[in-house]
Amino acid sequence: MAKTKRKNLRDDEFLKEFGIYLRETREKLDLTQQEVADRMDVEVMQVSRIERGIVNTSISMIKEIAECLEIPLYELFKKFQ
């Protein structure tokens, strides 16, 4: 059986929808991108890229975002169930 090469999976539409949902959640909590970035000790542009769906961020980073927003991790994914 020949091995098939796995493609680097990236769902641009999901990344954009996730970013929009993340931004809406952050704004509901009355936080700026800068405040989230400061809490995470990352550049504000990193938060911006995630919210715009430009980067496919890691699960670890998403977990850290949830912690900074003081919400359960599943909250960031419940829209996509």
**Residue 10: predicted pLDDT:** 72
The boundaries of the domain holding residue 69 are 12-80
Question: Considering the domain boundaries, does residue 6 fall inside one?
Answer: no
Is position 23 within any domain? yes
Which CATH number goes with the domain that contains 75? Answer: 1.10.260.40
Q: What is the pLDDT of residue 63?
A: 97
Rounded Cα–Cα distance for residues 25 and 67 (Å): 13
DSSP conformation class of 42: S
pLDDT tens, residue by residue, 1-50: 555 555 555 789 999 999 999 999 999 999 999 999 999 999 999 999 99
Q: Is residue 3 part of a domain?
A: no
pTM of the model: 0.83
47 by Cβ neighbours in 10 Å (0-12 / 13-18 / 19+) ranks as buried
Q: Count structural domains, the chain.
A: 1
